[in-house]
Chain A
Amino acid sequence: MRRLDLAMLLALLPILVCSHLLQSSTARALAQPAYASRQLLWLVLGVVLLLVVASSDYRLLLRLAPLFYVVSLLTLAAMLFLAPVRAGTRSWLVLGPYTLQPSEFARVAAILAAAALAASHQRELLAPRTALQVTAVVAAPALLVALQPDLGVALTYLPILVAVLWLGGLRWRIWVALALSVLVLAAAAWLWYLKPYQQERILTFLEPDRAPAGAGYQQRQSRIAVGSGGLTGKGLRSGTQSQLRFLPAQDTDFIFAVWAEETGFVGSLLLLGCYAAVTYRLFAIALAARDRGGTLLAAAVAVVFATQTLVNIAMVVGLAPTTGITLPLLSRGGSSVLATCLCLGLTQSVWRLRFANL
């Protein structure tokens, strides 16, 4: 315990407190009191999981990465056939009163696998072949998730790829080729994969006044919530945008808007600062790691965590289109909390073992 990164845990504590406060607030607005207590259970479980994983040896887990990876891939594939359809997707496994989202845990497996693969390559730059392998390793589960279809979670796989390829090092020609293929993929996705409402979201983001009452409604209400919070906010559980339900998806995608409305600029800056501090500690761990695997693992977790945080908040404040990417630890959802804690636990393990001998 004493060898854990206390700074990160200190930064996490306010986030966890906020998470509980916000879940209570939105549970009240949505008249779903069970949401708050269930989320509190997940948070406690998450912290326990974090500590358990922190006390393990990440090097062992990296060696076992192929196993985790194959299991997760098989689970995701089976999901497409076996999982019940909920809200139009096959994303959830139902276990009694609880639901699990395997795609969240598969992402942890993908991080481990990609980091392990890139770490095994010890030269300054990744060989094109290794780069392709890494791409395939990340793309396979992402595609399976996209088929569920859950675009929001599938997109959270992308930072893994960017992080590992960038850290592993590629020639600039390969970056150009990758950028081009991403463009081609994006165009193909636009034409064949994205549903009209998703296309509308992106168009609305590019042109906010396009349809103030239609697809732009969510983003507009979110910005009203954030802006009307002012300097010090309307007080906990007193946000009119959330309590009167003008704010959509207030317990998941737009939860930061609830906090911003109720605590104002002061509160939202504090919370943003906590996320920044956690991000900083994750990178600090990556820089302090004693080996290639630890660095790659911690940096990949840092990139995934920070990207998800930034994209979500950017969406809430109107700087990014609505994507369905949730805010780690704050948005309601047990699997997301557990998967995030799993990742943070891995980096704590990297930190704990930074001076260990081979």
Chain B
Amino acid sequence: MTFVRDDLRPLRRRTALFLAVFALAFAVIAFRLFSLQVVQAPTWRKLAENNRLRRLPLEAPRGLVTDCTGRVVMDNRPAFQLLLFPEEMKDPERTVRFLVQLGLADEGEVRARVARARRTSHLPSVIADNLSWAQMAAVAAHRADFQELAVHPATRRAVPAGPAVAHLVGQLGEVSPAQLAADSRLRPGQLVGKSGIELAYQEVLGGVPGNLVVVVDALGRQVSTLDEEPPKPGHPLALTVDLELQTEAAEAMAGLVGSVVGLDPRDGAVRVLLSEPSFDPDLFAGHLEPARWASLVADPLKPLQNRALQALYPPGSTIKPIFAAGALADGLRAPAHSVYCTGTATFYGHPYRCWLAGGHGHVALERGIEVSCDTFFYRLAYEAGIGRLAAWAKRLGLGERTGIDLPGEAAGLVPSEEWSRRTRGHPWYAGETISVGIGQGPILVTPLQLAVAYAALVNGGFLVTPHLVPGGGKPPRPTGIDPAVLATVRRGMERVVAGGEGTARRLASLPVPMAGKTGTSQVIRKKEGVKWQELPWEQRHHALFVGYAPPAEPTLVVVAVVEHGGDASAVAAPVVGRVLAKAFGHDVEISTPQLLLANPHAQPEPTPPGARAAQVAEVRP
């Protein structure tokens, strides 16, 4: 190879051309840099921020709820939520498959939750709360594959007292669109009170959620905290309820259907508020599974209903002291006025039977209450007419809401001629008045209303507003009933327990003196000569008892209603007896005819939450 000095001009010409081409290319790159870094910079900067910043909601721990002695009714425990960041989801189908494999819920539900999360795409959504350790481990193991998912510490409502207070404390649920619109402090997906104390005192217990802005790296790991706005925890709330009595009532009502209400007659403070059957309040501590919800709703025993203030029953004989007080106060009866009971009385050409077939003989007012003579009260009703019966019932608070600080209370029904025409479309039948006289027919009360009415009978004639928080409720309203009248009625009620013929005399053996009134309300008309034990469960009468103690200066009124309990003195009175005895420091065992009460709808215990999740040992995406 030799190198000869030759004409380099064509070579240099072509080289210069190359130089020009590259100069142009450098210019193009420079222009592109200008467009990216100067013109479009804000857009890219926002994308970079989205890359690295995550806004996490910090739920406010809800307030602690205690009973009247400071025992914990409801607090919080740590739990772990699964958050979904919809914007980071690469393939929703793949995410859904993973979540289903985690065992969070069935596929339809998971799909619905993911779809809902995508609607509020700028914020993370809670896909599941209360993750098990296995689920958390599975999410952590697949963090690189599913960067849209994050396990987030949170608190979860814990109700140590369990099903005994389920209706009282109520349920949490996801905030509704209407609530969101009304209160700017609420967040989508946030849990708020939906019933019970949780709803009534949402303002107190709720707190204000906070925010956490964290920097994450490309693998979704939190690198640092940029900004933290801590949540404001909810305020604590002390209730008037006595957890010990509540638990005693629950034990006494085990296996039964009905409710127990305990009230301090002096001011209306609620000591016991129980509804059976109940449910595990933990089911409602987080985001409820629709399947669980559906099974609770479909249960024929309606476990979600708070029977203490939502169920309506004919009061049966428990209405008798109320009418007795009315009759005495209005002068329709003197305490000594006596009626002769043969076992049957005839009004408007129809026979009305007393519950005691042989009759009670001469019955005055006090004994009428003691033996619960129907004939005495048939006669009273006949003379008073429906108008006055209704007035007496209303004077003691029946037919209207008590005003308790819990949502969903029923108003009950006190009938009138006008009510009959308007609601039923036919005139009031005179014979119905006679039935109403013994608490049957179209007169309906809630257990709570009964408790309020009896409180007025024993507190000197004041209508109290039942309340769950000390100092709550409106001031007691006087009914204007003369103390002497009330004294007469109370003597009758003392004889119910203490009297030789008292319908609840079995309670006389208890260490705590008490008084009260039994009541049996018909579900269907009882056939002659059939014992209640032989009837199918659904056709048995409801058993009621209202008791109070001490008889002289009562500090506690307790109502027990046992649906289809059959016999008030054998079934309902012992429940009240146990609760009253407990309130005054005595543990008593009173056997209720449990075997006879077996109801056909009794269901096995639901699977405890978490049991299913625990089965997920290993999950692959």
A5 vs B495: C-alpha distance when bound (angstroms): 123
Which residue of B is nearest A276, CB measured?
B26
Cβ-based interface call for A149 (8 A) = no
A227–B40 CB distance below 8 A:
yes
Binds A, one of B9-17, B301-309, B448-456, B530-538: B9-17
Q: A224-B51, A244-B52, A313-B29 are in contact. Are A231 and B37 (CB under 8 A)?
A: yes
Which residue of B is nearest A279, CB measured?
B22
Chain B positions within 8 Å of A59 at CB level? 3
Cβ-based interface call for B298 (8 A) = no
A29 vs B68: C-alpha distance when bound (angstroms): 58
Interface centre among A62, A119, A293 (most CB of B within 10 A): A119
Which residue of A is nearest B22, CB measured?
A306
Interface residues of A in 134-170 (CB under 8 A from B): 163, 166-167, 169
B26–A272 CB distance below 8 A:
yes
Cβ-based interface call for A314 (8 A) = yes
Binds B, one of A7-15, A283-291, A328-336: A283-291
A358–B37 CB distance below 8 A:
no
Cβ-based interface call for A49 (8 A) = no
A283–B19 CB distance below 8 A:
yes
Chain B positions within 8 Å of A120 at CB level? 1-2
A122 vs B90: C-alpha distance when bound (angstroms): 60
Interface residues of A in 295-327 (CB under 8 A from B): 295-296, 299, 302-303, 306, 310, 313-314, 317-319
Binds B, one of A33-41, A82-90, A176-184, A263-271: A263-271
Q: What's the nearest-Cβ distance from chain B to residue A189, in Å?
A: 24
Q: What's the nearest-Cβ distance from chain B to residue A5, in Å?
A: 15
Cβ-based interface call for A223 (8 A) = yes
B22–A226 CB distance below 8 A:
no
Which residue of A is nearest B223, CB measured?
A244
B181-216 to A contact mask, C-beta < 8 Å, 1/0: 000000000000000000000000000000000011
Chain A positions within 8 Å of B41 at CB level? 227-231
Chain B positions within 8 Å of A169 at CB level? 10-11, 14
Q: A265-B38, A314-B29 are in contact. Are A227 and B15 (CB under 8 A)?
A: no
Cβ-based interface call for B357 (8 A) = no
Q: A213-B90, A240-B51, A246-B51 are in contact. Are A319 and B37 (CB under 8 A)?
A: no
Binds A, one of B42-50, B77-85, B154-162, B236-244: B42-50
Cβ-based interface call for A204 (8 A) = no
Cβ-based interface call for B617 (8 A) = no
Chain A positions within 8 Å of B7 at CB level? 124
Chain A positions within 8 Å of B52 at CB level? 240, 244, 246
A225 vs B41: C-alpha distance when bound (angstroms): 10
Chain A positions within 8 Å of B38 at CB level? 230-231, 265
B6, B23, B34, B217: the one contacting A292 at CB < 8 Å is B6
Cβ-based interface call for A63 (8 A) = yes
Chain B positions within 8 Å of A229 at CB level? 37, 41
A63–B1 CB distance below 8 A:
yes
Q: A122-B4, A245-B217, A314-B29 are in contact. Are A227 and B18 (CB under 8 A)?
A: no
Q: A167-B14, A169-B10, A272-B29 are in contact. Are A226 and B36 (CB under 8 A)?
A: yes
Q: What's the nearest-Cβ distance from chain A to residue B23, in Å?
A: 8
Cβ-based interface call for A241 (8 A) = yes
4 closest residue pairs by CB, A with B: A227-B44, A228-B48, A265-B37, A244-B217
Seed contacts A213-B91, A228-B48; 8 additional CB < 8 Å A-B pairs: A169-B10, A227-B45, A228-B44, A240-B48, A241-B48, A268-B37, A317-B29, A318-B32
